[in-house]
């Protein structure tokens, strides 16, 4: 049931304050008497094994892969365990090495994706600890993993994943907090993240107010052939996920680009016509993004800059960029905020271009064949 909404994708984007609340419910411990912490019922008996593993491998497809990529830095930071990323089909194609000392984490909204499932069978046969992050209780991946976490985002109907993406990131951040639980040196950092997890639903509600602005931006962009999205650090995944949303539903070519790679090819595309979104919210790499913006402007790039509220002037001093200002949260949580206006942009682009939002051409919600 779509309620007051015209499409499931729209409904699911707007549901995110509630889906995130459901994802975190009962799993975050408030401070006061008890030390702030995280309780993931499905993993509590396995955390020691994960902490001691030689490597954590994230495995997924599409949006689920992007969610893992968005949360990779905080897993590395708080666990100290090296993290590698695998697109499920590529792992299978290569028969990449997996060992008993590895923890393989399978991220899948449906829990039924054929490639991810095959990678799970492969990793299990090689003796790795297999962890699932799924939205679907009783799904093949939930059943086939040794342990895991349900994201509890509620049923997602739109083929393009939206609320599952933000809930997957939230779960992986909680996993990072749980893995770092035994470290005193990171306690302050973990507490700051937990505080912001509690603020997340209301900040998502704030950013959803950009709906009309995103519709106006979509009107400006609707006739374009292509849209580039530059991100780095925590928001490299945001760039990939924005581009994936735009191409899968609005059928406009779009590419997410790691800003650090700009000079190694993508810069050749820049001119005064091609629209480029640059994600430059405040974090450890925003000064580098500021310089990316300057270099793109020097080549007359047509820029749309996403920055932290109050940073429009410093990020784009001459006022020639279109700006999307978003509220600030802890750096690792920022991808959850940043993707929301971009989901809205993809949604409005699709409606304006007259395409099917909930069932994009040639795509399926759950890809159960290879
Ligand atoms: C569980 C209950 C929840 C209840 C809560 C109260 C279920 C599905 N969840 O939530 O209803 O409110 O206890 O304490 O009954 N698992 C996998 N692979 C996956 C996902 C999960 O093996 O991909 C396993 C977990 O290791 C765990 C079980 O499934 O054994 C349930 O996981 P999850 O729902 O995340 O656990 P809780 O949050 O503790
Ligand atoms: C399909 C869906 O391609 O599978 C995407 O259309 C999704 O939205 C991808 O990201 C992976 O699905 P799942 O269920 O494994 O997360």
Q: How far does residue 145's CA lie from ligand 1's centre (Å)?
A: 12
Ligand number nearest to the C-alpha of 132: 1
pLDDT, mean of residues 317-341: 96
pLDDT, mean of residues 309-332: 95
Q: Is the pLDDT of residue 320 over 70?
A: yes
Contact 175, 311 (CB under 8 A): no
Question: Which of these, 285, 271, 278, lies nearest to 257 by C-alpha position?
Answer: 278
Q: How far does residue 166's CA lie from ligand 2's centre (Å)?
A: 14
The pLDDT score that the predictor gives to residue 231 is 98
Q: How far does residue 42's CA lie from ligand 1's centre (Å)?
A: 5
Q: How far does residue 301's CA lie from ligand 2's centre (Å)?
A: 33
Q: How far does residue 149's CA lie from ligand 1's centre (Å)?
A: 6
The number of the ligand 1 atom at minimal distance from the alpha carbon of 41 is 39
167 lines ligand 2 (CB under 6 A): no
142 lines ligand 1 (CB under 6 A): yes
pLDDT band at 30 (very low <50, low <70, confident <90, very high): confident
End-to-end CA distance of the chain: 31
Q: What is the DSSP string of 223-240?
A: T-SEEEEEE-GGGHHHHH
Q: Is the pLDDT of residue 180 over 90?
A: yes
363 lines ligand 2 (CB under 6 A): yes
Helix orientation angle between 334-353 and 187-207, rounded to the nearest 10 degrees: 20
Q: What DSSP state is assigned to residue 283? A: S
The number of the ligand 1 atom at minimal distance from the alpha carbon of 43 is 26
Q: Ligand 2: which of 61, 157, 245 to mutate, judged by most atoms within 8 Å of the beta carbon?
A: 61
Question: Which of these, 220, 221, 218, 242, lies nearest to 231 by C-alpha position?
Answer: 242
Helix orientation angle between 62-79 and 187-207, rounded to the nearest 10 degrees: 150
pLDDT, mean of residues 153-169: 97
pLDDT band at 33 (very low <50, low <70, confident <90, very high): low
> CA 175 to CA 150: how far, in whole Å?
12
Atom 15 (ligand 1) nearest CA: 137
Q: In this structure, how many other beta carbons lie within 10 angstroms of the beta carbon of residue 311?
A: 20
187 lines ligand 2 (CB under 6 A): no
Tens-digit pLDDT profile for residues 190-229: 999 999 999 999 999 999 999 999 999 999 999 999 999 9
> CA 328 to CA 350: how far, in whole Å?
28
Average pLDDT over all residues of the chain = 96
Contact 233, 216 (CB under 8 A): no
Q: How far does residue 110's CA lie from ligand 2's centre (Å)?
A: 7
Q: Is the pLDDT of residue 32 over 90?
A: no
pLDDT band at 133 (very low <50, low <70, confident <90, very high): very high
ipTM: 0.98
Contact 349, 214 (CB under 8 A): no
> CA 185 to CA 188: how far, in whole Å?
8
Burial class (CB in 10 A: 0-12, 13-18, 19+), 237: buried
Q: How far does residue 131's CA lie from ligand 1's centre (Å)?
A: 12
Structure tokens at 203: 């900040």
| ∠ CA 14-332-256, rounded to 5° | 70
Say how many CA atoms lie within 13 Å of 90 toward its Cβ: 9
61 lines ligand 2 (CB under 6 A): yes
pLDDT band at 60 (very low <50, low <70, confident <90, very high): very high
pLDDT band at 29 (very low <50, low <70, confident <90, very high): confident
Q: Ligand 1: which of 23, 24, 41 to mutate, judged by most atoms within 8 Å of the beta carbon?
A: 41
> CA 211 to CA 298: how far, in whole Å?
31
Tens-digit pLDDT profile for residues 344-363: 999 999 999 999 999 898 89
The pLDDT score that the predictor gives to residue 169 is 98
Q: How far does residue 5's CA lie from ligand 1's centre (Å)?
A: 31
């Amino acid at each position: 049931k779509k309620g007051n909404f015209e499409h499931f994708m729209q409904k699911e984007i707007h549901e995110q304050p509630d889906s995130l609340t459901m994802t975190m419910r009962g799993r975050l411990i408030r401070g006061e008497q008890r030390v702030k912490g995280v309780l993931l019922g499905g993993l509590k008996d396995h955390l020691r094994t994960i902490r001691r593993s030689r490597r954590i491998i994230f495995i997924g497809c599409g949006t689920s892969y992007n969610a893992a990529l968005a949360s990779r830095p905080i897993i590395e930071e708080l666990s100290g365990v090296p993290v590698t990323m695998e697109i499920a089909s590529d792992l299978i194609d290569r028969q990449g090495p997996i060992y008993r000392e590895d923890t393989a984490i399978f991220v899948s909204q449906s829990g039924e994706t054929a490639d991810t499932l095959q990678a799970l069978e492969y990793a299990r046969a090689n003796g790795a600890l297999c962890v699932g992050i799924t939205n679907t209780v009783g799904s093949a991946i939930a059943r086939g993993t040794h342990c895991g976490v349900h994201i509890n985002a509620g049923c997602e109907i739109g083929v393009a994943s939206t609320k599952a993406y933000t809930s997957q990131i939230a779960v992986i951040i909680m996993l990072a907090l749980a893995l770092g639980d035994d470290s005193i040196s990171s306690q302050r950092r973990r507490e700051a993240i937990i505080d912001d997890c509690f603020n997340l639903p209301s900040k998502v509600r704030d950013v959803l107010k950009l709906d009309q602005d995103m519709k106006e931006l979509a009107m400006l962009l609707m006739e374009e052939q292509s849209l580039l999205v530059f991100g780095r650090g925590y928001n490299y995944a945001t760039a990939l996920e924005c581009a994936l949303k735009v191409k899968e539903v609005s059928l406009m070519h779009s590419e997410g680009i790691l800003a650090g790679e700009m000079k190694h090819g993508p810069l050749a595309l820049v001119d005064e016509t091609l629209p480029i979104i640059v994600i430059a919210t405040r974090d450890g790499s925003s000064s580098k993004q500021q310089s990316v913006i300057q270099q793109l402007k020097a080549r007359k790039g047509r820029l749309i800059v996403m920055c932290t509220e109050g940073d429009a002037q410093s990020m784009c001093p001459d006022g020639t960029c279109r700006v999307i200002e978003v509220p600030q949260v802890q750096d690792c949580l920022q991808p959850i905020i940043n993707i929301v206006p971009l989901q809205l942009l993809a949604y409005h682009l699709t409606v304006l271009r007259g395409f099917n939002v909930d069932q994009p051409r040639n795509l399926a919600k759950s890809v159960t064949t290879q």
